[in-house]
Every structure is written in C-alpha cells, then in structure tokens.
Amino acid sequence: MSDAPGADDEAADRTPAETAQLALLLEVAGTPKPGNVDRRRDLGDLRFEHFLAGAVGAGEGLRMAAAGAPVGRAFERAVDGMARQRGGNTQFGCLLLLVPLVAARAAGDLSPAGVAAVVADTTVEDAADFYRAFEHVDVAVPDPGDEEIAALDVRRGADAIPAVREREVTLADVMELSAERDGNAREWAGGFERTFGAAEAMLADEGPAPDRVARAFLELLAEEPDSLVETRHGARTAEHVRERAAAVAGDLEAAETLAEDLAAEGINPGTTADVTAAATYVALERGLPV
C-alpha cells in the first residue's frame, strides 16, 4: 500500500475547476468569518448546506471556463448551477471572481497580468451573458446612481441586454463602470490586486487551510470597507465594520465575538468573502496544502 499520493504537489493533482470548487468549499468552511455563513454559523434561512449545494452546482460552469469557453457564458452557467438550491444567492460574487481566474489559469498565466488579459479580451456577448446571470438569483447591488448608466443597471437582468448591445459595452466596460461602488468589479478592473495579495498572505500563513481562510478574510475586512455592507447599510456602517475588524487584528478567538455581533446586527460583509474565495483559489494553485 503506497502513501496517499499528491501530498507533495497537490495543486497539480486537481484540475482548475476542481481547485475552484474546493476554494468555494474552503471559503465557507473557514471560521469565524464574521457576518457570513461558515462552518459554525448559519444565517437564518441561508445555511451552510446551501453553499455546499452551490459549490457542487457551479462545477459545470467552472469546467467550461477551464476548457476555454467565453468568460460570460461560463459564468452564467456557473451561476445557473449554483442557484439550484433553496438558500438563494450563495456564491454569485465568488464565481464572478473565480471564472476569470480559472480562465487565466487555463491559458497558462495565473497572475495579475494574465487575468487582466482575460478581462481585456471580454466582449459584448460576455456582458450580455453576465446580465443573463442575474436572472438566476437575486443579487444585492448598488444603485447605479448616474442616469446615463441606469439603462445598464444589472438589476434589469436580461432586459438590459439591448442597451448593452447598442452601446457596445464589453464585460470589462461593465466592471469599469461599477468599480467605484463594487469591490468585485474593482478586482476585475485592477488586475485582482487584493486577491493576489491575500493569496500570498495565505501562503505565508501557517496551519490548516480553513484557519488561513478565516485570517485572510479578517485582514481583507480590516483593510477596506466591504462594498456589500456599503450597499445595504451605507458607507459609515461599512467603515465602522472595517474598524471593528481591524481591532480584531487577525485573532480568530477575538473574531468570534465580532461574528456573534455582526450576525445579531444582520450585517453581511459578503464582498470580502468573495475576495477571500478568489484568494483561496490562487493560494491553492500556488501550493496551499489541504
């Protein structure tokens, strides 16, 4: 009987789509992740098992991304599969970050430049598929504010596609337009800077992967106001949450109290969880052991 294989180079033992699925699962397993569902906490009717089902359902879209399908189509398929559970939106934002990262990995360059190239190559059809993805699940997004771009409001779902086509807006353009108000769009527009930074921090960290996930989440939350919190509760609350995360200083025990508090307050730093999942993917591809 041989030793369990793969312990030396497990990144090479998984396909990019498998690695992305594992990142989704490790993200929700990491605890505490204050304000989010994790291994120890459900949030009312949004429960741990919905994230498990979401990760399973996303598989086909992730495999499409790895096989070179257009980013928009792969994303739309991943969201379609993810939504096949009763919890509602579990991993829309995670997948928005994971799909271009998987595409970059499949193209042989999982780096800020590699994913920026994937973003730059997106088309009007990718944008149309992105809007279609909003038909599968309710996603909390900021008000576009500007009347000029109200026609492109993602909350219009597929109804916005004629405007997307008419204005010849690529998916990269859509993200550029939202970058100011949305943390995930900011990653798209900025070479996934926080994602790659947090991945390196996870690799430099020690201990079981889910603990590294939790610490990465806390650092990201301490670093920048969460844009989902900002959308739902305003900039002041988002900044206050950031300060409270900074006070925890990456200590998982101290973070337990913050987790209890944010759950009680109904505050969900979901964008930070999305970036954490993306960082976990990059870290796994770069050798984070599981």
Q: Interface with its own copies by CB under 8 A: which residues? A: 1-2, 4-7, 10, 13-14, 18, 21-22, 25-26, 29, 39-40, 47-50, 52-53, 55-57, 59, 81, 83-86, 88, 134-138, 155, 157, 208-210, 289-290
- CB closer to its own copies out of 10 and 256: 10
In angstroms, what is the minimal distance from the CB of 116 to its own copies?
28
Which DSSP category does 3 fall into?
A: P
In angstroms, what is the minimal distance from the CB of 53 to its own copies?
5
- CB closer to its own copies out of 92 and 196: 92
- CB closer to its own copies out of 21 and 122: 21
- CB closer to its own copies out of 228 and 288: 288
- CB closer to its own copies out of 210 and 270: 210
In angstroms, what is the minimal distance from the CB of 253 to its own copies?
17
- CB closer to its own copies out of 125 and 211: 211
- CB closer to its own copies out of 75 and 244: 75
In angstroms, what is the minimal distance from the CB of 267 to its own copies?
23
For helices 193-204 and 209-223, angle between their N-to-C axes, nearest 10 degrees: 140
Q: How far apart are the first and last CA of the chain?
A: 21
- Which burial class, exposed, middle or buried, applies to 72 when counting CB atoms under 10 A from its CB (0-12, 13-18, 19+)? buried
Amino acid identity for residue 5 in this structure: P
In angstroms, what is the minimal distance from the CB of 64 to its own copies?
14
Tokens representing 84? 């096949």
In angstroms, what is the minimal distance from the CB of 43 to its own copies?
13
41 φ, ψ (degrees, to nearest 5):
-135, 135
64/59 Cα distance (integer angstroms): 9
In angstroms, what is the minimal distance from the CB of 96 to its own copies?
17
